[in-house]
């Protein structure tokens, strides 16, 4: 049995933020019915295509384990079918532009009238406020949620990260909101509204930077590279590769960095492991020297500390550094490229990277469920073709006859 078996989700999501939410719920066993516009479908089916006329990796990697029904929710017959789906589902999830579902004629009030037990979950770019009507994509959320202003180097522009913290991050928030609302419904019998703003999601992930904003009022941020020689302004500056926590860290070069742009390692000079680190890099002298021996003494010269560490790491590959430092309890991590990760066997064994077969594209790699439950196994199944399950859903879920299905098709509703 799977954790969410018996939960049916009316999936009105598209692009990335919403689909990541419903995908993870599908992996936990929910029956996810993805509603797509007839003949068009989720825009990502055709975006960043690597093979002509085949669903893109963008789409396939975000829509596993779902069923696809095509339905024109602006067509009178389509609205009737949509209302029937609302009646039979436990959850409706969407991430359209603000107001799109209302414009289709399905306000929260109307949805509740149709099914008072339903949970209605939405991702939007912003919560209520001056920007609530804006359309938002990933990088807009990173910029408006505090990530871009605090990412990058002091002498460079604000920088976005490749991690999809606005989209997938907010999708995960919505998944948690949905299962929490389902749990509450067990006791109240009522559905509720779940709202997740991408700005809020990114800001939540930037919590430590709001911490630093408040610390700034009490003096310079000593773990930032701007200390002691650079300038601090009124807002938290970009911290380069400095650690966000109390233990200083930095990215240093490893053997082969001249040819391989990922030949680097992150090293954290955690106080407890510093003596072992100092010894291994040939700086046993630091341990007796009051200029270097304590974390406080080292703080103003972290750049010199990491320069010395780098002299040593440049004589080793990133994997050798990992092998030497880990037994010494020095926290460190090689910079793994997507190529390294794709080839990492242990990630295949845990189901974090999965090979999936698709009828038109063949085999491809995807990222499986990052949340592992011991009693709810995950089998990653390919994404559906556009409208692949339309007949099956109208017949088996809604009880339409073959003639009714044919009539809906003729009318252009599905």
Residue 303 CB, nearest distance to ligand CAO (Å)?
37
Positive or negative torsion for Cα 336, 338, 339, 344:
positive
The question of whether 50 is a catalytic residue gets the answer no
Interface contacts to ligand CAO, rule CB under 6 A: 15-18, 35-37, 43, 71-74, 95-97, 100, 103-104, 123-125, 135-138, 167
The distance of closest approach from Cβ of residue 354 to ligand CAO in the complex, given in angstroms and rounded to an integer, is 22
Residue with tokens 């003729």: 410
* Residue 134 burial (10 A CB sphere; 0-12, 13-18, 19+): middle
Q: Which is nearer to ligand CAO, 39 or 282 (CB)?
A: 39
> Least distance (Å) from ligand CAO to the CB of residue 199?
10
Q: Which is nearer to ligand CAO, 85 or 268 (CB)?
A: 85
**Residue of 11, 42, 167, 212 marked catalytic:** 167
C-beta closer to ligand CAO: residue 43 or 276: 43
Instruction: Name which of 175 and 254 has its Cβ closer to ligand CAO.
Output: 175
| Smallest separation, CB 140 to ligand CAO (Å) | 8
Establish whether the linkage from the previous residue to 228 is cis, with ω within 30° of 0: yes
Cβ of residue 383: shortest distance to ligand CAO, in angstroms?
Answer: 16
Q: What's the closest the beta carbon of residue 373 comes to ligand CAO, in angstroms?
A: 26
Residues 6+ positions from 55 with CB-CB distance below 8 Å: 45, 358, 360, 361, 383, 385, 386
- In the complex with ligand CAO, the residue whose CB is nearer, 249 or 387, is 387
Cβ neighbourhood burial of 378 (10 Å; 0-12, 13-18, 19+): buried
Which sequence positions are flagged as catalytic? Answer: 167
């Amino acid at each position: 049995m799977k954790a969410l078996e018996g939960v049916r989700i009316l999936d009105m999501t598209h692009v990335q933020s919403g689909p990541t939410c419903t995908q993870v719920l599908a992996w936990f066993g929910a029956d996810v019915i993805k509603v797509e516009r007839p003949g068009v479908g989720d825009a990502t089916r055709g975006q960043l295509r690597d093979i002509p006329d085949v669903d893109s990796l963008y789409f396939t990697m975000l829509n596993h384990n779902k069923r696809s029904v095509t339905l024109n929710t602006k067509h009178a017959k389509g609205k009737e079918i949509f209302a029937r789906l609302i009646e039979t589902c436990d959850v409706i999830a969407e991430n359209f532009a603000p107001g799109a579902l209302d414009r289709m004629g399905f306000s929260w009030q109307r949805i509740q009238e149709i099914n008072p037990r339903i949970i209605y979950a939405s991702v939007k770019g912003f919560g209520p406020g001056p920007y609530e009507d804006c359309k938002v994509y990933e990088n807009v959320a990173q910029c408006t949620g505090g990530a871009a202003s605090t990412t990058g180097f002091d002498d460079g522009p604000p920088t976005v990260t490749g991690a999809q913290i606005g989209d997938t991050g907010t999708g995960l928030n919505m998944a948690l909101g949905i299962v929490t609302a389902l749990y509450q419904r067990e006791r109240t019998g009522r559905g509720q509204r779940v709202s997740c703003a991408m700005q809020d999601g990114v800001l939540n992930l930037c919590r430590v930077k709001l911490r630093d904003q408040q610390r700034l009022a009490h003096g310079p941020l000593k773990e930032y590279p701007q200390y002691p020689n650079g300038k601090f302004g009124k807002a938290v500056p970009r911290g380069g590769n400095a650690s966000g926590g109390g233990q200083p860290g930095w990215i240093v070069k490893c053997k082969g960095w001249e040819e391989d742009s990922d030949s680097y390692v992150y090293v954290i000079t955690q106080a407890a492991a510093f003596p072992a680190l100092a010894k291994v890099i040939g700086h046993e002298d630091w341990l007796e020297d009051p200029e270097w021996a304590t974390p406080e003494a080292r703080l103003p010269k972290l750049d010199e500390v990491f320069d010395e560490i780098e002299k040593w790491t440049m004589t080793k590959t990133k994997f050798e550094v990992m092998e030497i430092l880990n037994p010494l309890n020095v926290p460190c991590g090689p910079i793994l490229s997507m190529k390294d990760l794709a080839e990492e066997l242990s990630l295949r064994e845990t189901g974090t990277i999965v090979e999936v077969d698709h009828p038109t594209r063949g085999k491809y790699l995807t990222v499986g469920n990052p949340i592992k439950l011991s009693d709810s196994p995950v089998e990653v199944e390919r994404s559906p073709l556009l409208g692949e399950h339309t007949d099956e859903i109208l017949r088996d879920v809604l009880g339409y006859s073959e003639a009714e299905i044919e009539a809906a098709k003729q009318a252009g509703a599905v």
